[in-house]
């Protein structure tokens, strides 16, 4: 998957840095092992509307608590809950601990909108797993925007 992500980024003209490291599962682990000066550490959560089958990818700063009701209100839902591991794999072909916006390259049956915190959206530099928790891709915020535009992703900027 790393090759798929990095090849796609290169193909669309995105400048990035690929860092390899031991496997990390939590954003706290990642923050300590992969420290990049001036770079926003992020967490990605695959969530589902509690009353329907609609799923969303939520990206927040690593240390921000996910307000499931507040986030859901941006898309007219009452409350989010975490999607199951099975649903995550069916939709994005990744497992927990490896979710990131790059997983949109694997979307199959469902086109999940992206809810992204405004501080991440406006960050000069961000980092995400390339759908594999043994590597991290560092790129500029504008290159993240370029990636999302290239895949025609619906983006909803939130103040979570």
Does residue 125 surpass a pLDDT of 80? yes
Class of domain 2-158: alpha beta
Q: How far is CA 141 from CA 45, 127, 146, 151, in A?
A: 19, 9, 9, 16
Tell me what percent of the residues of the chain surpass a pLDDT of 70.
95
Ranges 7-11, 48-52, 102-106: which has the least confidence: 48-52
Q: What is the pLDDT of residue 30?
A: 67
C-beta pairs of 140-147 under 8 Å, 24+ apart in sequence: 140/15, 143/9, 143/14, 143/15, 143/16, 144/101, 145/121, 146/12, 146/13, 146/14, 147/9, 147/12, 147/14, 147/101, 147/102
Which two tokens mark 68?
A: 């499931």
pTM of the model: 0.89
Q: What is the pLDDT of residue 103?
A: 94
- Looking at the chain, the whole-number percentage of residues with pLDDT higher than 90 is 62
Residue 24 pairs in a beta bridge with none
Q: Per this entry, what is the length of the chain? A: 160
- Average pLDDT over every residue of 52-68: 91
């Amino acid at each position: 998957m790393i090759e798929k992500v990095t090849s796609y980024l290169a193909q669309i003209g995105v400048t990035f840095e690929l860092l390899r490291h031991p496997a990390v599962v939590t954003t706290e682990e990642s923050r300590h092992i992969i420290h990049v000066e001036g770079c926003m550490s992020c967490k990605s959560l695959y969530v589902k509307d509690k009353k329907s089958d609609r799923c969303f990818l939520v990206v927040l700063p690593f240390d921000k608590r996910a307000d499931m009701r507040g986030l859901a209100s941006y898309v007219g839902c009452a409350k989010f809950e975490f999607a199951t591991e099975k649903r995550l794999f069916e939709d994005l072909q990744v497992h927990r601990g490896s979710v990131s916006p790059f997983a949109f390259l694997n979307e199959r049956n469902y086109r999940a909108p992206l809810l992204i915190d405004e501080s991440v959206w406006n960050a000069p530099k961000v980092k995400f797993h390339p759908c594999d928790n043994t590597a991290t891709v560092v790129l500029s915020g504008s290159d993240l925007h370029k990636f999302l535009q290239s895949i025609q992703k619906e983006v909803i900027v939130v103040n979570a």
